[in-house]
Structure 1
Amino acid sequence: MAKEINNLKTITRTEFGKGSARRARREGQVPAVLYGHHTEPRHLLLNALDFAAVLRNHGTNSLLTLEVDGKEQLALPKQIDVHPLTRVIEHTDLLVVKKGEKVVVEIAILVVGEAAPGTLVTTDADFIEIEVEATDIPEDFELSVAGVEAGTQFTAADITLPSGATLISDPETLLVNVIEAPTGDDLGDDEESDEEGESAEDSGKAGE
């Protein structure tokens, strides 16, 4: 759960533009915009290492306690822009939240355990969307398939939510499907079909 509040100091940004953002990143800072609750957007800088550590240890739904101009402000990461090659956090949007307030967030589904022998576990959805108190956000939901037989399906409705949370995703959203694993004979039939098809094509070409 997101009950551990992560403290991060901030610096108010006074320079803007791509050049100033690049300088900030070179100096180990992440440009950020804090907004919400009808407040004026505030442009901030976060310590890149501290922010990355919070995300790594507690996930992208981590509840943050920001020190902004000497005052504390609760916030949630709303969007995190990461460079596709360097994986450096380039920018983040932060949403102002208040204690007791509910927010809508996406929670990852973590499949654990081994299904019954002779089965194949397929994942159809990696997350579900819920509404939950900002101070009670789960890091993920574990979905156990231990010993599950072929023909079993798990939907969003099968996930146990925290007290007071509401499922936003369609309850019938398929998360995990356990099916019979293909056998060697099944694979052999496919290969034979391919070979027969190729032979038919070759015969057709020979007759042209």
Structure 2
Amino acid sequence: MSSEKIVAEQRSEFGKGAARRIRRESKIPAVLYGHGADPVHVTLPGHDTMMALKHHGPNALLELEIDGKTQLALTKQVQVDNVRRVIEHVDFIAVRAGEKVTVEIPVVVVGEAGPDTLVSTISETVTLEAEATHVPEGIEVSVEGAEAGTQITAAELTLPANVSLATDPETLLVNVTAAQAQAVEETVAEGEAADEESTEAESAE
């Protein structure tokens, strides 16, 4: 997992008003936590930060240059405006090379399941423990040739070296069902919903 350098400006103004002013300048407010130190509030360049997070994923590792000093920072939370789809705020955790971190990693389903089946992703992420500088961007789950009734749990994952499972091994990640059975279930569910609406309408009368 490579890191990308971002020059950050330390800031002393906080609150919604300060954050709005920062965003109007096409920059992003952020906070760096970790290692028992006080949180460091910084301002990031909007375009460079957006591209780095887009390229490296939800657990992007960045080198934040703050006042001439460089700090490895693991992305912990990104707040995005649901309407404009722009980054509003980022939380980072300060890390060191070789340090172990617990992270949520996306589950990536690959392969083609058997005929007349439907593949459902039950858990979109899995919790892993990995070195901060070697966090995988995603964990692949193969459903190649899987038949109806196949269930893949976290315990069955093939993990990279020096990465361990931190979530419950019995967590269901992927469920493969018969397409026909799924269609029947959806029809039954739709019928039940229609019955409920009819009952509510009669009650209203």
TM-score normalised by L of structure 1: 0.85
* Structure 2 runs not aligned, ≥5 long: 200-205
Q: CA deviation at 1:15?
A: 2.4
* Letter of the 1:42 counterpart: V
Change (3 A) 1:183 1:16: closer
Q: CA deviation at 1:89?
A: 1.1
Which residue, 42, 63, 67 being the options, matches 1:65? 63
Which residue, 41, 44, 50 being the options, matches 1:43? 41
Partner of residue 130, structure 2: 132
CA distance in 2, matches of 1:177, 1:15: 49
Partner of residue 21, structure 2: 23
Which residue, 170, 176, 179 being the options, matches 2:177? 179
* Maintained 8 Å contact 2:118/2:182: no
Q: What secondary structure does 2:74 align onto?
A: strand
CA distance in 1, matches of 2:176, 2:148: 5
Q: Which moved more, 1:176-185 or 1:19-28?
A: 176-185
Residue 91 of structure 2 corresponds to residue 102 of structure 1? no
Size of the aligned set, in residue pairs, is: 192
Q: What secondary structure does 1:39 align onto?
A: coil
TM-score normalised by L of structure 2: 0.86
CA distance in 2, matches of 1:167, 1:148: 23
Partner of residue 119, structure 1: 117
Q: CA deviation at 1:81?
A: 1.3
Which residue, 90, 93, 100 being the options, matches 1:92? 90
Partner of residue 33, structure 1: 31
Partner of residue 151, structure 1: 149
* Letter of the 1:117 counterpart: P
CA distance in 2, matches of 1:172, 1:58: 29
Identity of aligned residues (%): 51
Query: What RMSD, in angstroms, separates the aligned Cα atoms of the two structures?
Result: 2.4
Partner of residue 8, structure 1: 6
Q: What secondary structure does 2:148 align onto?
A: coil
Change (3 A) 1:184 1:23: closer
* Letter of the 1:138 counterpart: P
Q: CA deviation at 1:186?
A: 5.2
Q: CA deviation at 1:148?
A: 1.2
CA distance in 2, matches of 1:102, 1:72: 19
CA distance in 2, matches of 1:185, 1:34: 48
